[in-house]
Amino acid sequence: MAEFMIAAAIFVLAMVALGLARILWGPSDADRIMAAQLLGTGGVATLLLLGEAMSVPAAVDVALILALLAAFVSVAFVKGVASSEADGA
């Protein structure tokens, strides 16, 4: 079972890494933040799978914190867009 979990974790991580090409291509900042959002969710899934495969219960706590921080990244992005538009930039 552990081998399957690790294989699934590697697959999810590879998918997320492919999605990061969107950060390079853009074209808008919203597209880039979407790829970062996918990295956050994929990271949570990878952590949960690896924690189960390697019997590390603390990985669930790390996944919880990563989910929280990934949410704050996007909130900071939206706040930044709103304030830069208020400046007339």
Partner 1 sequence: MTLALDGLTILAVCAGAFFFLAGTVGLLRFPDPLSRLHALTKADNLGLGLIVLGLLFQAGGLLAALKLIGVWLLALLAGASISQLIARTARPGGPPA
The Cα 36–Cα 17 span in angstroms is 10
One-letter amino acid of 59: A
Element (H, E) at 28: none
| Shortest separation between residue 85's beta carbon and partner 1, angstroms | 8
Radius of gyration over every alpha carbon of the chain, rounded to an integer in angstroms: 16
Counting contacts by CB under 8 A, is residue 87 touching partner 1?
Answer: no
The residue ranges that bind partner 1 (CB under 8 A) are 1, 4-5, 8, 11-12, 15-16, 18-19, 21-22, 28-31, 33-35, 37-38, 41-42, 44-45, 48-49, 52, 57, 60, 63-64, 67-68, 70-71, 74-75, 77-78, 81-82, 85
